[in-house]
Each structure stands twice: as structure tokens, then as C-alpha cells.
Structure 1
Amino acid sequence: MIDKNTIERMHAEIQGIMDSAGAAILDVYEKAESIEITTKDDDSPLTLADRRAHAIIAEGLRKMPEGFPVLSEESTLPDYEERRQWTTYWLVDPLDGTKEFINRNGEFTVNIALIHEGFPVAGWVYVPVRSQLYYGWSLDGDAAAFLAENGASHAIAARKLNPEAGVIVVASRRHGGEALQPMLDKAEARFAKLERKSIGSSLKICLVAEGKADWYPRLAPTSEWDTAAAHAVLLGAGGVMVDAEYKPLRYNTKESILNPHFHAIADDGEVWKELVL
């Protein structure tokens, strides 16, 4: 059974795993000459840091007493016939934002999510350069989200929509610009003001969870491990993630590991349904 006590017990172990993975990543990041870039099947860059972090996380999670399967971006993807039997499993992206890593802007993250019956019930997003850890859970009506930094944790919450004050939309620097523009035009006509922010990796969803943005529309490809951990944080903070039909985003429901287009929204409501649908 997955409950709040289970999540809280796991938290200390996950923190230790995140610290070790983050240290391995920074060891490579701070020695630029050691970065090895190859190309994966999807043409995304693969670095030495990616592989080191994966090894640390996979080993740490497999040692935990629950014995849940681990699915990582850097592991072999099991056939769906096997994966569909998983009620609960770990979904991991050991280094999200590898382009940000290579460009050395610090906007990359380590991501661990616990998926239960298709939903991310808990998630941890670590920002190695800033030593920040976003984490949260949402299950059985109990939800919470936090940001740990400078030796202390504080609760975070998604912001309430104030159309008269305008909205903040966070978007990728590289993906989905042309497809997104008609929707942004529609939002600009609907709200008093539309401010855009750009940031890399799963930090886009974390900005919504932290109350620093209202909306993150993603109309370009992502994989399930790219979003799951931050999705859990957003749910814990009171936000939602929905697909293009305004249905909750789910995981491990098909052979493909790709997400549909989705929207991370701080304050669920009819105004967003009208905009998205």
C-alpha cells in the first residue's frame, strides 16, 4: 500500500540518492573537458554524467525494500506486455535538460517519480547547480509540495488565477513555437496581460508548482520520464496536468513512452478548458 507514511519513509533515502547523483553530475559539469557527447536513437545528447547518475539512481532504488521496478531513460525499455503488469514502479530521468548541461546554463535536473496505477503519486526534482530539491506527493486526498534549499524546506503552492492581473506562461526555448503561437494569441486576447518565461528541463513544470507561472503548454514531443517527477510536485502543490482533451495526464498506458501534448496548469478552472479545447 502506498500512503503518506510510505512516501515520508522513502524521502530520506531518495534525498541521499539525489545527493549522490547530483555530485556525480557536477563532477563532470565542472570539468568541461571530460564531457563525452554521443547520440542516442532520438538524437538527444548523451553525456558521461547521464550514465553515472543513472547507475547511482538505479542501484539506490533497487536496494529499497519495496522492490519496485525501475524504468529509466538510460535503461532498456521493457516490452509493454511486461510493463503493463506494473502497478507501482519508479520512473527516472537521471539528467533532464542535457542540452542545458552542455550549454552550461545550470538548468538541468535529476528526476525520480513513483508511479502508482498510472499516476505520479510522488516525485523528486533535484537541481544540482543550485542544490535545490523540489518534492511532493498526492494520494487519497492528501497532497503537499516543498522546496528544500539552504538546509531548510518550505511548502510551495501553485498560484491562483487572476485574469485581471494577467498570466505568466512558461515555454521551451526550442520546441513547439509555431504550433503554440495560435494558442498564445488566444490567451493574450483572453487575459489582461501575458508574460512569457523560458527555462530548461522539468524546471518549467516546477515554476508552475512554485507559484511563479500559471501555465506551461507543451505542444511538442516529450517522454514520460521527462515529466513524471515534476508532475507529482505540481499535483502536490495544487495544480494539474492535462492532455489536449483536458483529461488528466497518465503514465504507462500504451507501448509508446511518449506523452501526448499536455498543459501544466496552476489553477484548474473553466477558463483553461475554454483555452485548451
Structure 2
Amino acid sequence: MQQLLRISIEACLKAGEATLAYYGKPVHVDIKSDNSPLTKADLASNTVINKYLIETEIPILSEENTQAGYAERKHWQKLWVVDPLDGTKEFIKKRKEYTINIALIENGNPLLGVIYAPILDELFFGLAGIASYKLTNASKNKYLLNDPMEVAEKITGHTSPTDLIVVASKSHLSPETEKFIKRIEEKASGLRVKSYGSSLKLCRLAEGAADIYP
């Protein structure tokens, strides 16, 4: 499992590096069948991740790959689940909060997960039944791939004892979510709302920087 963790971390870092070639520049946007945006950065990241994960001989289910049919996938006991660029709308708007996401699943249960925010250079990863970790300045840490759990900080999820912090989406804030937040505001003092894009909302919960993601 340690080797698979190192592979997935390196894949995220290299994929993040690939997206930086497009970040902040004029970008052509295609619209997929589900009405979500697609850029060259999504595809570049996906190509890099496939290059690393294919060596594990574990099937890959990626948002940007041609997908195997369910008749085949239902027999996969173990698979990689990949979002090569989570928060494409944030990326297009030149915001810093897009991420690269990789998870390893076995029989429907997560074994490990890695999330990397290239612009922030923050890396989050976790192993089921062990712990979750955060590393800042991840791309600059030359010891990371030797022993990720040794160089990263274990996160506990402890939050502020006074403030109640809600994290919400920057690009997908629905009227229902706004109503939910308003109901909490009516009952809780010291409520603060912070907006984040992509899977960083979950990371902020995991590290204790937020309490609720509606």
C-alpha cells in the first residue's frame, strides 16, 4: 500500500505541474455532454495520471477517459477513481482552488486518497484505518516520495471552540444551500462562511479549518 501511495502522490504532483502550463492564460473551453467544462489542462493532467497509474495494472476510472462499460466494470474488485482537474470552473476563472484527485477503491471501500492543489502547493492524503495528512510546499519537499507519512503533518480535524465555520462552493452555491446557511445563522452565534472551490472544501473539514459543508 505504501508503494501505491507514493505512486498516486507522484502522479498528482506531476499532473499538477502539467496544469500550470495552462494556468492564468487564455484557455479554450469545450462543453461536455453533462454541460461541464473541459480544457486542455484537464486532458494534460489526465494523460500524466494515466501514465503513472497504468503501471500498477489496476483499472482506472477517470472522468476524462473513455469508460469501460458497466458489464466490465462490475467485476473490478479494485480500481483507481480519478478527477484529473476538480474545479475546472475555478481554473478557468484563474482562481487558486482547483485540485487533482486520486483514490484507490476496493470492493466499494476507499483504501487511500490523494488531493493536490497545485497553485497553493498543498497536498492532502490518507490511508484507510491509519490517518490523514497534510503537507504544504509539497512540490518542493525532496523527501516526500521516500516516506510521505514521515514528512507530512497528521491532521486531527479539531476545530475552533468558538466559531462555527461553514464552507460553501464558489461556483455551485444553490438556493437550497443558501437557505440552509441562513437557518444555521439564526441559531448559531459566531458563524462564518468561507467559499472554496473543488475538493478543498472536504480538505478544510478534514484539517479542522471548517465545521460544516452543506
Matching of residue 148 in structure 1 with residue 147 in structure 2 = no
Partners in 1 of 2:89 and 2:81 — Cα distance? Answer: 21
Runs of 4 or more consecutive aligned structure 1 residues displaced over 3 Å after TM superposition? none
Q: Structure 1 residue 86 and structure 2 residue 86: aligned?
A: no
- Does residue 119 in structure 1 map to residue 113 in structure 2? no
Aligned partners of 1:159 and 1:213 also within 8 Å? no
Match of 2:195 in 1: 198
What corresponds to 2:97 in structure 1? 107
Gaps of 5+ in 1: 1-5, 218-277
SS at match of 1:63: helix
Q: How many residues align?
A: 202
Q: CA offsets per residue over residues 213-267 of structure 1, 9 Å max, x none? A: 01111xxxxxxxxxxxxxxxxxxxxxxxxxxxxxxxxxxxxxxxxxxxxxxxxxx
Q: CA RMSD in A?
A: 1.8
Gaps of 5+ in 2: 142-150
Query: What letter matches 1:25 in structure 2?
Result: T
Task: Give, as a single letter, the amino acid of the residue that structure 1 aligns with 2:14.
Answer: S
Aligned counterpart, 2:147: none
1-structure distance, mates of 2:48, 2:171: 30
Q: Judging changes above 3 Å, is the alpha-carbon distance between structure 1 residues 185 and 29 closer, same or farther for their aligned structure 2 residues?
A: closer
Partner residue in 1 for 2:50: 58
In the aligned structure 1, how far is the partner of 2:131 from the partner of 2:70? 31
* Aligned partners of 1:159 and 1:214 also within 8 Å: no
User: Using the alignment, how far apart are the partners of 1:181 and 1:74 within structure 2?
Assistant: 31
TM-score for the superposition, normalised by structure 1: 0.68
Deviation at 1:50, TM superposition (A): 0.7
How high is the sequence identity, in percent, across the aligned residues?
38
TM-score, normalising length from structure 2? 0.87
Q: Partners of 1:160 and 1:84 in 2: how far apart?
A: 39
> Cα offset for 1:176?
4.2
> Aligned to 2:208, which of 201, 207, 211?
211
CA distance in 2, matches of 1:147, 1:136: 9
Q: CA deviation at 1:212?
A: 0.3
The AA in structure 2 aligned to 1:97 is: G
CA distance in 1, matches of 2:136, 2:181: 33
Distance 1:22 1:181, change over 3 A: closer
Query: Which AA in structure 1 matches 2:37?
Result: P
- Following TM superposition, by how much is the alpha carbon of 1:25 offset from its aligned partner in structure 2, in angstroms? 0.5
Deviates more, 1:184-193 or 1:149-158: 184-193
* 1:175 matched to 2:172: yes
